[in-house]
Chains A and B, each alone.
Chain A
Amino acid sequence: MENNEEPIIIENSAIETIEATQRAEYDIQIATAKKYPRDLIKVKNNALAIITMDKQIAESCRYALPRDGKSISGPSVHLARILSQQYGNLRADSRVKQITNNQIISEAICFDLETNYAVKVEVRKSIVGKRGRYSDDMIVVTGNAANAIAFRNAVFSVIPKGLTDICYKKSMEMITGDLSDETKLIQARAKSIKYFIDTYACTENDILSVLGLKAITQIKSEHIADLRGLMQSLIDGDTTPEQTFKSLKPVLETKNIDKINDDKEKNRFIEFINNAQTLDELGMIEQQAIEYGLTEMIEDRKKLISSKNGK
């Protein structure tokens, strides 16, 4: 066969068009950013006004999670959102990049259009628990959490730390309120502990374990803030009560033992009745089976056995 055919060059004009459009969009965004630069004083004041608007918003600005027997805390994704809104001239986005057998990988990009500075952040979260790989629903939940963390990390890599720190500190003051004397601290401590015990049925020891402390009296104002952050993380679903408080795992309650045994015995009776081949066999257990309310079942079985024998 002669190879005299001319090579066909495929021009992917579609891709070029998309790239050109994106470039144009960025150019417009950068031009707009340059035209209307941010006013840092205004950014700070507006952010602080929002953060200190009420206690709930302030609480949402901080996260706290128990890790390695200690509590880790810091500015939350909510603070990142407030700051990115007020900072302006930013483009921030996060998405799940990949799901492997045991991890979910999320990626976030934050682009400061004014300074032309961009940061890309990757966050990995395990999707394998004690009972193997998470369910599809749990993978979605984990993906959302990973996206939120990636978003937060990307935004805080772009927004100056000084600004974040000022806002974070203000939110802390708002969260803990006035804890200037011991009486107020004791009240705040008792209130926080009560909240967790009432809401999540955990124990005091669980709370101490989360904070990495040994006694309730060691809970100081920074720990109160940690607990508030933990409240927020639990509400947001960044962590679960079972992950946070280990005593919430389905431990055996000794008061249930009798019930467990009664249920098992009843099941044994049912199985025995269903498998009984003679009336004598049924007679052996009849008296006790009545206590479990199995009279009807015994009568039915008796009829069945009698009819079989009759045949």
Chain B
Amino acid sequence: MESKILFRASQVGRLMTDPKLNADKLAGKLGQTAKSYIEEIWLHNNFGYKEEVMTDEMIKGLICEQDSMELVQQVLGGGFRVKNRKNFKNDYLTGTPDIVLIDSIEDLKTSFTVKTFFNSELNSLYYWQGQVYMELTGKKHFRLIYCLVNTPEEIVLDLEKRVYYKFSCDEDNPHYKLWVEQIRKNHTFDNIPAKNRIKVFEFVYNPEDIEKMYRKIDKAREYYKSLTL
């Protein structure tokens, strides 16, 4: 049913982006980012169109899920963290949190390098993701945890391979050797103590924000219904 489209927790932040004009904002209109997101859903639902993007960062996030979980367990302790595989949904939202604990939800983000870890923060996208997870699971506490773990060998080799082509497949080139050495350095973090390799942002369930979100979803569904080719 078109009017019953569900919004993914990880994307709700896009829906909540305000329009540029203050008048539009006050009128509760959808921003351009939100419209683009709804259009993507519409194109996918009606024509199967989807822009698949798979970056090294995303692959690392997927493959290092358990490494990050182990690191968090080691540093924060508490109940044994198991990857949650259950999908939660209601009439508006859907989502699969990384970890569901007795009293809280945790979502892990694996940083690609020490620089991305350094710059990591609680952005709007992750804030709304957390709110949606809490709404879906009924938990009142959310922890967004950035983790810095070594990049898997497969990804490092892939990065090296790209440089290899840049240097015309010459493994003896001293610049190539230096570059490769730097790649390894950028993706190995064993020298950083475990406690410094996690960054935690904690927040609680906000019913007002949730209410605001549902209103936005109603607008989004109206916009969805208005779309044509």
Q: Which residues of A contact B (CB under 8 A)?
A: 66-69, 126, 129-130, 209, 246, 249-252, 254, 257, 260-261, 264-265, 268, 272, 281, 284-285, 288
Quick one: which of A67, A250, A264 contacts B157, CB cutoff 8 A? A250
Q: Which of A68, A246, A284 contacts B161 (CB 8 A)?
A: A246
Q: Are A288 and B82 interface neighbours, CB within 8 A?
A: yes
A129 touches B168 (CB 8 A): no
- Complex Cα gap A130–B183 (Å): 13
27 pairs from A and B in contact (CB 8 Å cutoff) = A67-B169, A69-B165, A69-B168, A126-B171, A130-B160, A130-B180, A246-B165, A249-B157, A249-B158, A250-B154, A251-B158, A252-B59, A252-B63, A254-B62, A257-B62, A257-B63, A260-B63, A261-B63, A261-B65, A261-B83, A265-B66, A265-B82, A265-B83, A268-B73, A272-B80, A284-B79, A285-B82
- Cβ-defined contact, B83 with A252, below 8 A: no
Flag if A66 contacts B169 (CB, 8 Å): yes
The chain A residue with its CB closest to the CB of B180 is A130
Chain A, Cβ-Cβ closest to B79: A284
Q: Beta-carbon contacts of B44-67 to A below 8 Å, as 1s and 0s?
A: 000000000010000100110111
Residues of A within 8 Å of B66, CB to CB, are 261, 264-265, 268
Does A126 contact B79, Cβ atoms closer than 8 Å?
no
Number of interface residues of B (CB under 8 A): 30
B69 is an interface residue with CB less than 8 A from chain A = yes
Q: Which of B132-163 contact A (CB under 8 A)?
A: 152-155, 157-158, 160-161
In the complex formed, the residue of A with least CB distance to B82 is: A288
Residue numbers in B under 8 Å from A285 (CB-CB): 80, 82
Does any Cβ of A come within 8 Å of B170's Cβ?
yes
Chain B: interface secondary structure? helix
Minimum CB distance partner of B65 in chain A: A261
Q: Are A268 and B70 in contact (CB under 8 A)?
A: yes
- The verdict on B164 contacting chain A, using a C-beta distance below 8 Å, is yes
- Minimum-distance CB pairs A-B, first 3: A264-B66, A252-B154, A68-B168
Complex CA gap A79/B167 in Å reads: 32
- Tell me the complex Cα distance, A284–B65, Å: 21
A261 to B63, CA, bound (A): 7
Expressed in whole angstroms, the minimum distance between the Cβ of A142 and any Cβ of chain B is 14
Are B59 and A69 touching (Cβ within 8 A)? no
Nearest A residue (CB) for B60:
A252
* Chain A nearest Cβ from B110, distance in angstroms: 12
CB contact list, B62-89 vs A, under 8 A: 62-63, 65-67, 69-70, 73, 79-80, 82-83
Question: Contacts of A288 on B, CB cut-off 8 Å?
Answer: 82
Residues in A neighbouring B169, C-beta threshold 8 A: 66-69, 246
**Cα distance, A238 to B128, chains bound together (Å):** 57
Please give the distance in Å from B52's CB to the nearest CB on chain A. Answer: 11
**How near does chain B come to A184, taking the closest CB pair, in angstroms?**
32
What distance in Å separates the Cβ of B208 from its nearest Cβ neighbour in chain A? 35
Q: Which residue on chain B has the smallest CB distance to residue A266?
A: B66
